[in-house]
Amino acid sequence: MKYVNVQDRIKNFEEFHKALPEHEQSKQASRCMSCGVPFCQAGVMIAGMASGCPLHNLVPETNELVARGNYEQAYTRLSKTHSFPEFTSRVCPALCEAACTQGCHEGPVSTKENEAAIIDYAFKNDLVKEVKPKVRTGKKVAVIGSGPAGLAAAQLLNKRGHSVTVFERSDRVGGLLRYGIPNMKLDKRTIDRRVKLMTEAGVIFKTNVNVGVDITAEELMKTFDKVILCCGASNPRDIAAEGRDAKGIYYAVDFLKEVSKKLMDNRYDSEAIMHAKDYSFGSLNKKHVVVIGGGDTGNDCVGTCVRLGAASVTQLEMMPAAPAQRAENNPWPEWPKVLKTDYGQEEAAFVYGQDPRIFETTVTEFVKDDKGKLKGVKTVKVAKAVDKKTGRVSFEPVKGSEAQLKADLVLIAAGFLGSERYVTDAFGVAVNARTNVATEENAYATNVPNVFTAGDMHRGQSLVVWAIAEGRAVAKAVDESLMGYTNL
């Protein structure tokens, strides 16, 4: 899939992916037929990393149908295993492609692009429907959180005939799909389109309801037969450095949320966002930004800051740069641990003349002016050290490598530490050492009767595709608990 030219796409917050022509789509899909063993759909853990699609999409079957130009049947086949292809075809890192057998010899099959072509065709031709049950079971289920896990669980349980109510503490449905991923990567109208279909099919969405604050866990457990916690791993990791109280330091998710909210409030008018003066970030003209964290969220912050006109953007990453090619100890079909230059980094390099990333670097101090406002960050290079006895990895500062960067705004994108305590305490569910809600292995029932969990709240910070897989799995577990059997 090609992108809109950098100089054009940074002028707005519109999606910048360009679909492959149909003849090229067919050619790519036909390459799948050369495969003998489809690791793409395995969805197994190899060397601690996922290999293949966790949803177990029937990739060769859908690709064959795309190769033949039968997009309608391809959608029917894809929808047997997938709830929301319109989300993953935009934001998934394509675990299927990383495990593609063709990738042993040449480039992998463009399965992600094929998935996008299938679902776009299906929506364009009015093929996408949500099942409105003719008969209801009389059972009521509450889903707490409307991210991909919560939406997937609600979709299947409603289809089964249970009455489902989804509670969301934000003003709009979508969780991190809505407020953790910028619009140019996932247009929020794509979420609205699906939510509209689910609402018409009978799912009830209640926004601006913070469970554990606005409504008690006891009330929900009395009203509903089952409760599913899908609140995400929404507890951001902080940076404990001197000067942390300086004005101008924000968590990345708060920054992305505010920009996305203002964009939607202004009916997706990018000009209104880039010149806004009535919110905490506004135009970043002449502001120097430092993003702490090298993952997808950090990259999304870089791309957003470029669009808001930052004077400079620097991205700090504690880990060393990955190799350009697979290392010998990282063979196929393991996930390839190679250097990835994403869209935001590409855009920053175009605008500022260099890759924004500084590897093997951490912050030692946030520098404030006499009014307590951020004016810079002090950094130091770090070197990886391994304890010979325990094997524990640490990063030690390198003497003489200290430096200082200009910074009017710092965005902390250092990941998440697990679930938020006020929710887990409200329901009395047990958590593990990482504060994820604890269950038995490969199960979704918590220690509290009739309370289940799924998604990042269950497995920790992860991918959208894993959240959808967990949402579908918890729906099956809840259905079986309610009915004594399940046909999901």
Per the CB < 8 A criterion, the answer to whether 322 and 337 are in contact is yes
pLDDT tens column, 121-156? 999 999 999 999 999 999 999 999 999 999 999 999
Cα–Cα distance measured from residue 20 to residue 137, given in angstroms and rounded to the nearest whole number: 44
| CA separation, residue 238 to residues 25, 235, 292, 414 (Å) | 44, 9, 10, 7
Cα–Cα distance measured from residue 210 to residue 455, given in angstroms and rounded to the nearest whole number: 18
The phi and psi torsions of 397 (rounded to 5 degrees) equal -65, 145
The DSSP letter of residue 370 is T
Cα–Cα distance measured from residue 340 to residue 383, given in angstroms and rounded to the nearest whole number: 21
Altogether, the residues listed in the chain come to a count of: 488
Stretches in the chain below the pLDDT threshold 50: none
The phi and psi torsions of 35 (rounded to 5 degrees) equal -80, 145
* Cα 384 from chain centroid (whole Å): 28
Per the CB < 8 A criterion, the answer to whether 308 and 259 are in contact is yes
Query: Percentage helix, strand, coil, to 5, in the chain?
Result: 35, 20, 45
| CA separation, residue 48 to residues 103, 254, 270, 334, 360 (Å) | 20, 30, 41, 9, 23
Q: Which of 413, 387, 401, 391 is nearest to 313 (CA)?
A: 413
**H or E segment and range at residue 78:** helix 71-78
Residues in Cβ contact with 102 at an 8 Å cutoff, skipping those fewer than 6 apart: 31, 32, 34, 35, 108, 109
Cα–Cα distance measured from residue 488 to residue 475, given in angstroms and rounded to the nearest whole number: 8
pLDDT at 340: 94
Topology match between the domains 140-235+417-483 and 249-412? yes
The tokens 């003349």 sit on which residue? 353
378, burial (CB in 10 Å: exposed 0-12, middle 13-18, buried 19+): middle
Q: Amino acid identity of 317?
A: E
Q: Which of 93, 40, 32, 41 is nearest to 68 (CA)?
A: 32
Residues in Cβ contact with 15 at an 8 Å cutoff, skipping those fewer than 6 apart: 90, 183, 184, 185, 186, 187
Q: Report domain extents, the chain.
A: 2-124, 140-235+417-483, 249-412
| CA separation, residue 343 to residues 15, 150, 258, 270, 300 (Å) | 12, 28, 21, 18, 8
| CA separation, residue 315 to residues 19, 107, 356, 381, 438 (Å) | 30, 29, 5, 14, 34
Q: Amino acid identity of 226?
A: K
pLDDT at 279: 67
pLDDT at 391: 85
Please give the class, per CATH, of domain 249-412: alpha beta
Question: Would you say the pTM of this structure is higher than 0.85?
Answer: yes
Residues in Cβ contact with 183 at an 8 Å cutoff, skipping those fewer than 6 apart: 13, 14, 15, 260, 263, 268
Pairing of strands 374-386, 393-397: antiparallel
As a CATH number, domain 140-235+417-483 is 3.50.50.60
Q: Which of 189, 182, 154 is nearest to 168 (CA)?
A: 154
Q: Where are the alpha helices (DSSP H) in 290-384?
A: 296-307, 343-352
| CA separation, residue 267 to residues 188, 198, 379, 402 (Å) | 11, 22, 40, 45
pLDDT at 275: 81
**CATH superfamily of the 2-124 domain:** Alpha-helical ferredoxin (1.10.1060.10)
Q: DSSP for 375-431?
A: EEEEEEEEEEEE-TTT--EEEEEPTT--EEEE-SEEEE---B-SS-HHHHHHHT--B
Residues in Cβ contact with 391 at an 8 Å cutoff, skipping those fewer than 6 apart: none
Q: Which of 444, 475, 481 is nearest to 157 (CA)?
A: 475
Q: Which of 152, 83, 86 is nearest to 119 (CA)?
A: 86
| CA separation, residue 20 to residues 4, 76, 276 (Å) | 12, 21, 36
pLDDT at 381: 98
